[in-house]
Structure formats: C-alpha cells, structure tokens
Amino acid sequence: MVPDRTWTAALVVIGDEILSGRTQDRNVAQLATWLNDQGVRLVEVRVVPDDMDRIGEAVNALRTRHDYLFTTGGIGPTHDDITVDAIAAALGVPVIVHPEARAILEAYYRGRPGGLTDARLRMARTPEGAELLDNRYSGAPGIRVGNIYILAGVPAIAASMIESLAGKLEGGRPVVSVTIGARAAESDVADLLRETEAAHPGVAIGSYPFFRDGGHGANFVIRSEDGDLARATGQELAQRLRAAGYEPVDGGI
C-alpha cells in the first residue's frame, strides 16, 4: 500500500495582545484539534505583532511551505485590524470591498442601531480574488484567498468560521492518539519508553510528567497515523509498565 501523503498546515497568530501577555491564546489548541479531525497536521505556528511587514513576512514564509495556512486575529472594524491589508500586500493584490461580504453585513446590521457604518464596512474588505467563510456567530465573514484562511481572533468566532469548513479541506489520515498514564517518574521509565518507540516505526511516544496529590506521574501519548499500530503499541507499553511494577491507566491519569 502506498502510504497516504501527509497534509500540513501552519498558523499565524496575529496580535499585540498575545505577545504582551494580556490575552491567553486559545486558537492554537482549538485549530490543532480541529485540523487533526480533517486529516491535516498543524506543524508550525508563528505569533506576530500587529505590524504589516511582520505579518506579510510570516504569511509568505509559510503559505508556500504548507498545504494550508491559517491566520487568526486582526479582522475587526478598528484601526488595529490590518490583517487583510497585510495579506493583500504580501500577495501583491489590491484590497477590495467584497460584494457578498457587503451584502452579508448590510443584512446583519439592518435594524441594528447605527446600521452599516464605515467602520463596520471595513469588515467587508478582502484581498482581491477571495471567497468568504461563513460566520454564524457574529455576521462578519472569514476569508479564504488561495490556500490562506483568514479567521477572527475571538476563539468563538474562529470556531464558527472553521466549522463552516468541516469536511471541505482535503486531508489524509488523522493522527490517532492513545494515552497511557502511570504513577512513574518519567526518568525511571525513560529506557522502557525509548525501547518501545524504537520497536515500532511510524509511532511517536511523548512523555508528559506531572506532580499531583503529592506524587510524581506521567502520561505517555502514543501517536500514529495507523490507529491499529497506535493501539497495539499502547498495549505493549502498558504491559511493559506492568512488568516494571507500575499500574498503567488506559486513557491517562
């Protein structure tokens, strides 16, 4: 069997508020989990400030390197929302007012106080040649241009935008994760982990230690695109842990 190719994605998180520590990013984890369900692997993330050049540089570095590039942040109605301008400049295309986006905003703000002001109309601007991504949460759409998917920074709105893409991105096999937990200091089982991984090509085992209820422990996450292999490796790891005197816990602790 020819192995499936691996589809990859990158994410550019745009926002001074993440880099200042004011706001805790939630989009990396949210997008990573969702992409895996689509059979796409998130393999690189960059966080950049609200700066045209830095956004453009990251976008151009990553869009050619991966099947998909996502961005979050900077598509609202205020002066610090410059993502559309930065991406258009990076692609060398003009910014237009997208007719469909304008119609969506007209309908959304009809009857709302103030109506479709100039500031709100900013959210209809896209790089030329773009399509829209549905946003059932708050009206203003996301944007796709080429392989770039431009999402809002507010996690609930970003979630609404990617939901509209579910099942529409071409991907391969999702990575299957099997987690085995044990009340073991990871340094005590390091050899056992390394040997188990080495015996199973195509499998990666991560070790994530914790200190809880006064004791050390770790969760071992076995990842593979081959679900049967991941599960078999998990069972073998559990047996090895048991043989070494630990009580492995399926699903992790």
Out of 39, 43, 95, 229, the residue judged to bind a second copy by CB under 8 A? 43
Please count the CA atoms within 13 angstroms of the CA of 253 that sit on its side-chain side. 21
Crossing angle of the two packed helices 227-243 and 190-198, in degrees rounded to 10: 150
Q: Is 31 in the site for a second copy (CB under 8 A)?
A: yes
Site for a second copy in 109-128 (CB under 8 A): 114, 117-120, 122-123
Which residue, 40 or 145, is less far from a second copy as judged by CB? Answer: 40
Q: Give the H or E element holding residue 14.
A: strand 7-14
Out of 2, 24, 214, 228, the residue judged to bind a second copy by CB under 8 A? 24
DSSP state of 5: P
CA distance 177 to 30: 16
Site for a second copy in 83-112 (CB under 8 A): none
- Shortest distance (Å) from residue 145 CB to a second copy: 23
Q: Is 250 in the site for a second copy (CB under 8 A)?
A: no
CA distance 15 to 220: 33
Q: Is 60 in the site for a second copy (CB under 8 A)?
A: no
Residues 72 and 14 sit within 8 Å (Cβ to Cβ) = yes
- Shortest distance (Å) from residue 249 CB to a second copy: 16
Which residue, 87 or 218, is less far from a second copy as judged by CB? Answer: 218
- Shortest distance (Å) from residue 33 CB to a second copy: 4
Site for a second copy in 207-246 (CB under 8 A): 207-209, 211, 221, 223
Q: Where are the alpha helices (DSSP H) in the chain?
A: 16-19, 27-37, 52-63, 83-91, 99-109, 118-121, 155-163, 190-198, 227-243
Alpha-carbon separation of residue 164 from 54, 87, 123, 134, 207 (angstroms): 28, 22, 18, 6, 34
Which residue, 128 or 166, is less far from a second copy as judged by CB? Answer: 166
List of residues contacting a second copy (CB under 8 A): 13, 16-26, 28-34, 36, 41-50, 54, 76-80, 114, 117-120, 122-123, 138, 154, 175, 177, 185-188, 190-191, 193-194, 197, 204-209, 211, 221, 223
